[in-house]
C-alpha cells in the first residue's frame, strides 16, 4: 500500500484545511512546486493534487501550478482533482501530461458526462467518493446528496475507471484516524482499487489501512506536514 502526499492548492499556495472548510486554511508552502520538490526528495513517485479554488468555482483556477510541477518532475505520477466539469478541460489536462483526474461532483450530478469521460479516457479517471454520515457530497463538499457510496459504485462498476478515492469528510484534516469500517465496506464493494483518504494521523493508521483487501494507497496531508509521519519510514514499510 502506497502513502501518497497531498498538495492542496488555494490562491497559488500549498495549504491544508479541516473537513474541507475553506476558512480553516493553514499555509505550509508558498509555492506548490516547493511542496512537490520536498516530497519527491523524500522519495515519493506519486502526488495527490487538489485545486481548492477550482472545486469551489467549478472551473480550474490553479492549473498553472500543477503544470509547473509536471514540467519540473515529468517522471512523477500526478492525480488531480477540483473544478473539472467538462470534457474540454479533461482534454487540456491530459494533453499537458497529467496522469489521472479525480471526478466527484459530476459523477453525482451528471452521470452521462461522467460515463463519457471514462469511456473517452479509459483508465485515466479516478472516481472521487466523498462522504459524510454515509451520504455523498459534491461541489467542494458544500452540497449534500442522498446517494451512498454503494449507489455510485453500482452505477459505474462496468466503466474503465482507474481507481476510487474514498474520503470521510468528517475525518479530513483532523488527525483523528481514518474511517476503517466505511473504507473496508467501500473496498469490498468496489471492483476498482481503492485509495483511502481522511484522518490518517500516524504509521499505525497506515498499517491498519494496509490490512484491508483492495486498498492500495492512503492520501496523507496534515500527518505529513505536521511531522506525525516520517514519510521515508512509511515508504520503506510499504
pLDDT of residue 22: 75
pLDDT of residue 144: 77
Q: Mean pLDDT for each consecutive 10-residue tract of the chain (238 residues)?
A: 97 91 89 98 98 94 98 98 96 97 95 98 97 82 82 97 96 94 97 97 97 98 96 94
Cα distance between residue 145 and residue 37, in whole Å: 37
pLDDT of residue 132: 85
Q: What is the CATH number of the domain that holds 202?
A: 3.20.20.70
Distances (CA, A) of 36 to 115, 118, 233: 31, 27, 18
Q: Which of 130, 168, 172, 205 is catalytic?
A: 130
Cα distance between residue 147 and residue 6, in whole Å: 26
CA Rg, the chain, in Å? 16
Domain of residue 42, residue span:
2-237
Cα distance between residue 131 and residue 143, in whole Å: 11
pLDDT of residue 96: 96
Cα distance between residue 85 and residue 80, in whole Å: 13
pLDDT of residue 66: 98
Residue 210 CA to chain centroid, in angstroms? 17
pLDDT of residue 140: 66
Q: Which of 8, 51, 53, 172 is catalytic?
A: 8
pLDDT of residue 142: 66
**How crowded is residue 34: how many other Cβ atoms within 10 Å of its Cβ?**
14
By the 8 A CB rule, do 133 and 177 touch?
no
8 is catalytic: yes
130 is catalytic: yes
Tally of domains in the chain: 1
From the list 184, 192, 178, the residue with the least C-alpha distance to 220 is 178
Amino acid at each position: 500500500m502506497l502513502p501518497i502526499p497531498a498538495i492542496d492548492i488555494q490562491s497559488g499556495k500549498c495549504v491544508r484545511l479541516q473537513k474541507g472548510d475553506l476558512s480553516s486554511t493553514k499555509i505550509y508552502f508558498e509555492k506548490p512546486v516547493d511542496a512537490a520538490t520536498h516530497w519527491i526528495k523524500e522519495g515519493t513517485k506519486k502526488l495527490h493534487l487538489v485545486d481548492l479554488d477550482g472545486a469551489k468555482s467549478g472551473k480550474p483556477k490553479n492549473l498553472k501550478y500543477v503544470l509547473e510541477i509536471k514540467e519540473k518532475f515529468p517522471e512523477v505520477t500526478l492525480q488531480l482533482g477540483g473544478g473539472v466539469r467538462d470534457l474540454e478541460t479533461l482534454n487540456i489536462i491530459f494533453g499537458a501530461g497529467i496522469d489521472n483526474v479525480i471526478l466527484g461532483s459530476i459523477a453525482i450530478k451528471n452521470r452521462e458526462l461522467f460515463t463519457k469521460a471514462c469511456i473517452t479516457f479509459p483508465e485515466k479517471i479516478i472516481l472521487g467518493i466523498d462522504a459524510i454520515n454515509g451520504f455523498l457530497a459534491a461541489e467542494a463538499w458544500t452540497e449534500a446528496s442522498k446517494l451512498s457510496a454503494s449507489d455510485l459504485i453500482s452505477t459505474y462498476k462496468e466503466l474503465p475507471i482507474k481507481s476510487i478515492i474514498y474520503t470521510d469528510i468528517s475525518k479530513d484534516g483532523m488527525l483523528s484516524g481514518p474511517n476503517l469500517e466505511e473504507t473496508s465496506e467501500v473496498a469490498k464493494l468496489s471492483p476498482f482499487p481503492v485509495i483511502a483518504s481522511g484522518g490518517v494521523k500516524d504509521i499505525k493508521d497506515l498499517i491498519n489501512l494496509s490490512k484491508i483487501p483492495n486498498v492500495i494507497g492512503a492520501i496523507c496531508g496534515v500527518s505529513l506536514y505536521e511531522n506525525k509521519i516520517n514519510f521515508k519510514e512509511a515508504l520503506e514499510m510499504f
